[in-house]
Structures are given as structure tokens and as C-alpha cells.
């Protein structure tokens, strides 16, 4: 039989990887729904912490005060959990302020459709309380305000009083 010889394609060193991780997020030519961010829990460098990024969807520019209040409730809830509280120094939490054109999120069973920055949707995949968001849009929003190692976990908070959430690449919840 034929045997292919192993041909090295090249190598990359740890220094090159560290340079890539330290690069500033790229700037988009398009208008961004991200209007700011704040490191609300800062326990040290991202390279030594688990970095949680929380961003809202379905909050208009007029609702940024509500978003900041909701985000603080999420942070307080996380940090009051016994597991998080026992390891509080291991976490950084960044709030990302994302503006949507319309208030609320999609809720197809009730024929509610909103124009939002992250396209959060209730009842995705036909599961009533499952909330999904567009992971590419969420990653792009996080990349505008963090370095690559500063966004270990992304949580999207949907602006609706209907209870829901989900896990996966992008965690979701409603407020």
C-alpha cells in the first residue's frame, strides 16, 4: 500500500499565541449595537480568571438604566450562589451594553417578533422555555470589548418577563 510521509506544516510558538491573545479587538466598519461595557467584578488578569461576559438583548437605548439594574441583579445572584461565593476571587464579570431597536425578544408561540441586536428568541426548537440567541452576534459583541481570553463564558439576558433560558455555547436567561 501507499504510505504518506508526514510533512510538517510549520510550528507555532507560545509567544505567537500570547501575542494573538493580547491583540486589541478588531474594529468593525459597521455601526455596532455595543455602546459600552464595564468590568463589574474585577479580580485580576483574564489569564488567571474565569471571565463571564453578560449582555442584554431587547433593551432599547431608553432602557439602558433598566439593563444595568438587571445586569447587577444577575451579578448579585451569581455571587450569592454558594459555589460562586466560595470561589469569588476566581471570577471576573463584564457587563456589555448592547442596544436593540425594539424592546423585548421574539416569542413565536405568542406571535411576538422583535428587532433585537442578538436575535434572542423564546421557545426555540419548539421547546417552550428554551431561549436561544445568535451566537455569532453575541461573540462579535463580546469581541468588541474584550480580548480573546477575556470572554470564557457569555450569558445573554433577554428582556422579557416570561421565564426561560438555556445553555450551550452561549448561555441565556430572561429577566
1 vs 60: which has the higher pLDDT: 60
Q: Which residues on neighbouring strands pair with residue 157, listed in sequence order?
A: 56, 173
Helix%, strand%, coil% for the chain, nearest 5: 35, 25, 45
Report the 3 state secondary structure along 15-62.
Answer: HHHHHHHHCCCCCCCCCCCEEEEEEEECCCCHHHCEEEEEEEECCCHH
CA dist list (Å): 53 to 102, 107, 108, 154: 22, 24, 27, 5
Beta carbons of 120 and 172 less than 8 angstroms apart? yes
pLDDT at 26: 43
pTM of the predicted structure, to 2 decimals: 0.81
Question: pLDDT per residue over 96-138, tens digit each?
Answer: 999 999 999 999 999 999 999 999 999 999 999 999 999 999 9
Question: pLDDT per residue over 138-173, tens digit each?
Answer: 999 999 999 999 999 999 999 999 999 999 889 999
The rounded percent of the chain whose pLDDT value lies above 70 is 83
Amino acid at each position: 500500500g501507499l504510505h504518506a510521509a508526514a510533512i510538517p506544516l510549520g510550528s507555532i510558538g507560545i509567544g505567537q499565541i500570547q501575542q494573538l491573545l493580547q491583540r486589541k479587538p478588531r474594529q468593525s466598519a459597521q455601526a455596532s449595537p455595543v455602546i459600552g461595557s464595564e468590568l463589574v467584578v474585577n479580580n485580576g488578569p483574564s489569564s488567571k480568571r474565569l471571565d463571564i461576559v453578560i449582555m442584554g438583548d431587547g433593551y432599547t437605548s431608553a432602557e439602558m438604566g433598566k439593563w444595568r439594574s438587571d445586569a447587577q441583579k444577575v451579578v448579585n445572584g451569581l455571587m450569592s450562589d454558594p459555589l460562586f461565593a466560595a470561589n469569588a476571587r476566581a471570577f471576573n464579570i463584564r457587563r456589555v451594553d448592547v442596544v436593540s431597536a425594539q424592546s423585548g425578544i421574539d416569542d413565536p408561540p405568542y406571535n411576538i417578533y422583535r428587532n433585537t441586536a442578538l436575535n434572542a428568541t423564546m421557545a426555540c426548537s419548539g421547546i417552550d422555555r428554551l431561549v436561544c440567541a445568535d451566537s455569532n452576534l453575541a461573540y462579535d459583541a463580546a469581541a468588541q470589548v474584550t480580548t480573546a481570553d477575556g470572554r470564557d463564558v457569555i450569558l445573554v439576558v433577554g428582556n422579557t418577563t416570561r421565564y426561560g433560558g438555556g445553555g450551550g455555547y452561549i448561555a441565556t436567561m430572561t429577566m
